Copies of this chain bind each other. A is one copy, B any other.
């Protein structure tokens, strides 16, 4: 019994986000036009995003001021707690100290509102009345719906049909907040119609849903599109996690030797890690950083580092990133938030220049770790967060083997209250490991557009 919580007072919510692009000698490669393959200018993105976000996308400023209205909304759940996982340490019998930042206290139970709130705010400021987006498991969609309801902006969510049918509760949450939720592929868009013509029973995918949401935003001058991960401005917003954690680690008297985060599109990982990586890049303090991805969707560890589309219909800009190919459909692991073929260009770049490491675990390993964590610490992690948990446990066991007193920090990006079916299935022996789907990935990679720097 000695969970220890480190809480910041409310006036310590950061006043500025941290932008890692300021500390990179060479920035990430620019986004390119899906048709011309030329580097994008701000105007190319204007049909999709407000100018404030486009400017953040390319900014090299280290500090980006957080608008007062956004800080006020953040106060609903921020600062989030940092915990020392003493019970887990005891269960592992490790000399390592394990800390975790917990983002599950937000109203939707994950880190997603950190960027949903500013995205809605900047759009509202530019007079936008309606936002379109996609969602898989629904963490992002429900967060954008919540932010939309707070600021009075309409939200339209294209939800992967398989999730729409099988996981109605996140949909219920979005609808409770007043959002419209449309199963994707739908007959509202050309992209959706094309898919349905070929496969009337298509279960959909994140790539298809993105195509639909983008298409709808482009067609309506009063609407914009919002993306919950991958893009630079999302990484900027999520830096509040790590900025708070920096201060909280100071309260503990420790400093992380290693930081672990789960990676799907990269945003919760960037959130916890980038402010610490900034200190590393500036030569102030070294730290190992490990990105953990699912073995079923291993974009960093098994993908190519190349220009690729973000969606299936190839409507989005080309991004230079670790990718498994935009046609790759990951096995249906329960960590729906990590089932994306691409990776944040900034996270990809950091891996490419050897600033961060990456590893992957299969689904069985992640749930085993998640249950061990829940029993020790009392919090049931989201399946996505279990990837960070297994990574942290691995580091702690290694410290035990080596007899070193390592300090480990990880991001527990959300709770699993919407994901209990996956725990039931795991305990009933119904889950699959879903190791690296080698041939499907090879096939998808063969279809990369082949755009050079």
Contact = CB atoms under 8 A, between A and B. Distances in A.
Contact of A3 (B76, B149, B176, B423): B76
B417 A87 contact: no
A183 interface: no
Contacts of A415: 417
Contact of A172 (B169, B177, B424): B424
B168 A420 contact: yes
A374 interface: yes
Interface string A36-70: 00000000000000000000000000000000010
A420 B107 contact: no
A176 B369 CA distance: 12
Given A10-B7, A75-B5, A168-B420, A175 B375 contact: no
Contact of A149 (B7, B173, B378, B418): B378
Nearest to A425: B172
A379 interface: yes
A105 B371 CA distance: 20
A393 interface: no
A169 B72 CA distance: 34
A37 to B, nearest CB: 41
Nearest to A167: B420
A interface majority secondary structure? helix
Interface in A107-157: 107, 109, 146, 149-151
Contacts of A169: 417, 420-421, 424
A159 interface: no
Contacts of A177: 374-375, 378
Interface in A351-403: 371, 374-380
A73 interface: yes
Contacts of A379: 107
A429 interface: no
Contacts of A420: 168-170, 172-173, 176, 418
A78 B172 CA distance: 29
Question: Which 4 A-B pairs rank lowest in CB-CB distance, beginning with the nearest?
Answer: A169-B420, A172-B420, A172-B424, A417-B417
Interface of A: 1-5, 7, 9-10, 69, 72-73, 75-76, 83, 87, 105, 107, 109, 146, 149-151, 168-173, 175-178, 371, 374-380, 415, 417-418, 420-421, 423-424, 427
